[in-house]
Structure 1
């Protein structure tokens, strides 16, 4: 039988302070141990949860006050305005981006050329060896035929 985490009253109080009086808001791994402790010591756990539930209720009921129209106007007036970029800067940006893409494409083509040319001597070497072996087999065949 698998046992869950063991919890003492001090740990229970710390979790209630951190997560509130509703055990459903606690981390899942702590809930089973809390339920076992609440069943075993209801007279010790109930006041802890009640105190934290009062605080939970007060925090859930609190709403931030709305900003006054004067504050909203001041914030909007202090906000930065949209910067206008000179048209030639946009052209340079687009041209630079296109040049970068063209350079990347050219580098890819060059890598392909280098890779394929590196393989060419190897295949030509094999062709020479194959031709030499074929020629020697033909000579051997003539020798065998003469015997």
Structure 2
């Protein structure tokens, strides 16, 4: 059996097991929000490209039909156009999901900021070493 190495895409933090902190979580939320936004934009570009390619394939199929090309080849081109439209539709749906993910990550980041920024600033300004996370937890 081999040891599996976790895959960490470029730009994402690879740290595991490190102490949680306000800034570390805020950074990860920012990274997630940016990645979701980039994914959404890339998917809209893909959708536009696939729609254009599908239209080009339809036009090619029409030209082939006029030129009396073997019908099975014309049918393959038409099938390719349909597949390109399916990819365009699916990428549009996935872009919608990425948009939702980006909005949720942004809302989570805003909630984290409003909830804990004051605590973080107070701790940094106090100069007193604070107890480990969970020390003040009530059961």
TM-score by length of 2: 0.34
Q: RCO greater where, 1 or 2, for CA within 8 Å and sep 6 or more?
A: 2
Query: Could you say which structure has the higher helix fraction?
Result: 1
TM-score by length of 1: 0.32
Larger radius of gyration: 1
